[in-house]
Amino acid sequence: MPENVVVIGGSSGMGRALAAELVAQGSEVTVAGRSAAKLAAVRRELGVHTVEVDLGSEPDIERLFATTGPINHIVSTAADVAGAYQPILSYDVTAARGAIESKLLGPLLLAKHGAPLLEPGGSIVFTSGIAAYRPGPRASLLAALNGALASLAAALAVELAPLRVNVISPGWVDTPIWQDVAGDEAPQTLAAMAARLPAGRIGRPEDIAAAIIALLRNGFVTGTVLHADGGHRLV
């Protein structure tokens, strides 16, 4: 039987690259996300099962897992972070709730409702990011949320053992999210960071997909953060 993998956030960016590679390797893939149009496109192009889900909605997450049956892995790359980038002295928490729900509450709910369906040897992978380790101005909440995911994964790795729980921490990756974060300045912003990184370039979605698959396949890795950041933590 092929493995069954659920990818939340798999209709674009890193999640879509992961879904495409898993399909190429023969996995059955369910892609969940908020955009009906993007889900329709990935369903058409990759032949995956899709479910429209808001990570902040527990009924949505229950409905997602009601469609999957037993699964081998759960991966969440979803992130609604545009509203999280704000100066602290004028912070609007309401605008940032999407980040809190997608980066922290959603992963908690995925573990709550998804773990009972995981087969022996199964795993969960959450996505944090470089902001936890190299925080910048206006990114205080994002740094906190990404850092919290490392602690969440460690706690769940103990509580859900022998199921495995890990975190992938990307650096800067060329995905559509940069249009929300940097707007028209995105190409120049990415090029400037590429010049700083030891790897000499910005990440590609396929780089992160490969790192996530390594976490899925290695049954001896749990409670761990895998950094796929081009050496960003070093500079």
Domain boundaries, the chain: 4-234
Percent of the chain with pLDDT over 70: 97
User: What's the rounded mean pLDDT across residues 29-47?
Assistant: 97
Check whether 223 has a pLDDT greater than 80: yes
Mean residue pLDDT of the chain comes to 95
Note the pLDDT of residue 182: 66
Check whether 179 has a pLDDT greater than 70: no
**CA distances for 24 relative to 17, 48, 78, angstroms:** 11, 11, 21
Check whether 67 has a pLDDT greater than 70: yes
User: What's the rounded mean pLDDT across residues 142-171?
Assistant: 98
Percent of the chain with pLDDT over 90: 89
Note the pLDDT of residue 81: 85
Note the pLDDT of residue 185: 81
CA distance 34 to 207: 24
Note the pLDDT of residue 229: 98
Check whether 68 has a pLDDT greater than 90: yes
The CATH architecture to which 4-234 belongs is 3-Layer(aba) Sandwich (3.40)
Check whether 92 has a pLDDT greater than 80: yes
Q: How many CB atoms lie within 10 A of CB 122?
A: 23
User: What's the rounded mean pLDDT across residues 90-106?
Assistant: 94
Q: At what angle do helices 106-114 and 140-159 cross, to 10 degrees?
A: 20
Note the pLDDT of residue 218: 98
Q: Which residues contact 50 (CB under 8 A, 6 or more apart)?
A: 11, 30, 31, 32, 33, 39, 40, 42, 43
- State if pTM tops 0.85: yes
CA distance 132 to 64: 29
Contact 7, 77 (CB under 8 A): yes
Contact 189, 178 (CB under 8 A): yes
Check whether 53 has a pLDDT greater than 90: yes
Check whether 58 has a pLDDT greater than 70: yes
User: What's the rounded mean pLDDT across residues 79-83?
Assistant: 86
Note the pLDDT of residue 61: 98
